Amino acid sequence: MTYETIITETRGKVGLIILNRPKALNALNSQILAELVAAVNGFSADAGIGAMVITGSEKAFAAGADIKEMQSISYVDAYSQDFFVGWEEFTRVRKPIIAAVAGYALGGGCELAMMCDFIIAADNAKFGQPEITLGVIPGMGGSQRLTRFVGKSKAMDMCLTGRMMDAAEAERSGLVSRVVPAGELVEEALKAAAKIADFSLPSVMMAKEAVNRAFETTLAEGLRFERRLFHSLFALEDQKEGMAAFAEKRKPNFTNR
Ligand code: CO8
């Protein structure tokens, strides 16, 4: 499939998606949403792919939803079309997705990064939910996910003042998992994704599912869910292989079975 607003590449077992609307700082319009969802679904369906990386440019991961596309939309249209509901499809992807963020990740850009499984930030990254400056509020999960990542006080500060957080503050407050020099961002993210993609895919997918469950349920239910997944992994050949390889002091050869 050919895309106009993203570039896709395969690096070994990793699917790389580069947001590519440089003139609009990768603002997220309906075309980029549709192409991004198609790309992640394509990599999901590809048995040769074990993890994905989404990145933008050195200046902008994405500067938000496309304000020019949104500005004239009416309430009836927004409501009737359930504007941007397509992003929910993105969050249903079961293989891991790493956001590699350099430059601006604002509004929908910050929200897209938070929909990924974890964020690796370049040292020039800037995160923000500036929707309040436009007379609106976050609409792709910012008020909910940012609050879970950084807590109420910082989330309120960001959503009410619209101020940006730099990479150091984002790492300190738990929004990003690590910060790397901007020039090494994509390689570092690809390295992390390649490491994940070398593990047994069913256990990787279950690990993702288990961690995500922590956001959706009580501790008791989450623990029960984790234990049931854990039990089920003993049905895999890869569990036998992984543990045998440890005992035999060799590298495991996982087959995703
Ligand atoms: N939408 C559309 N175009 C954009 C956007 C955007 N979000 N951001 C930047 N652009 C465009 C600019 O208009 C400009 O285009 P042109 O050259 O044609 O004038 C080009 O990108 C370059 O931008 P700047 O000249 O402004 O670049 P600067 O380096 O001076 O500034 C900033 C960079 C600070 C990132 C600045 O561009 C900016 O403030 N952008 C807007 C940031 C913003 O407010 N983002 C939030 C958008 S709202 C949102 O995301 C809501 C999400 C939820 C919606 C869910 C609906 C259900």
At residue 81, the pLDDT reads 87
Quote the ligand 1 centre to 33 CA distance (angstroms). Answer: 16
User: In this structure, which residue's CA is closest to atom 7 in ligand 1?
Assistant: 64
The C-alpha atoms of residue 230 and residue 109 are separated, in whole angstroms, by: 34
Q: Which two tokens stand for residue 83?
A: 């504007």
Query: What pairs with residue 106 in β-bridges?
Result: 128
Quote the ligand 1 centre to 211 CA distance (angstroms). Answer: 32
Atom of ligand 1 nearest to the CA of 138: 53
**Does the C-beta of 56 come closer than 6 Å to ligand 1?**
no
Residue ranges of the chain with per-residue pLDDT less than 70:
none
**Does the C-beta of 107 come closer than 6 Å to ligand 1?**
yes
At residue 88, the pLDDT reads 87
Quote the ligand 1 centre to 131 CA distance (angstroms). Answer: 11
Which residues lie below 8 Å from residue 229, measured CB to CB, with a gap of 6+? Answer: 206, 209, 210
Angle at CA of residue 114, ends 108 and 115, nearest 5°? 90
Q: How far is CA 18 from CA 44, 151, 245, in A?
A: 16, 30, 36
Q: Where are the beta strands (DSSP E) in the chain?
A: 6-11, 14-19, 51-55, 60-62, 97-101, 104-106, 118-122, 126-128, 164-166, 178-180
**Does the C-beta of 130 come closer than 6 Å to ligand 1?**
yes
Quote the ligand 1 centre to 54 CA distance (angstroms). Answer: 19
The C-alpha atoms of residue 202 and residue 128 are separated, in whole angstroms, by: 34
User: In this structure, which residue's CA is closest to atom 15 in ligand 1?
Assistant: 24
Q: Report ipTM for this prediction.
A: 0.97
**Does the C-beta of 197 come closer than 6 Å to ligand 1?**
no
Atom of ligand 1 nearest to the CA of 64: 50
**Does the C-beta of 167 come closer than 6 Å to ligand 1?**
no
Is residue 20 within 8 Å of 55, Cβ to Cβ? Answer: no
**Does the C-beta of 110 come closer than 6 Å to ligand 1?**
no
**Does the C-beta of 27 come closer than 6 Å to ligand 1?**
yes
Residues belonging to the active site: 65, 108, 111, 131
Q: Which two tokens stand for residue 26?
A: 């990768």
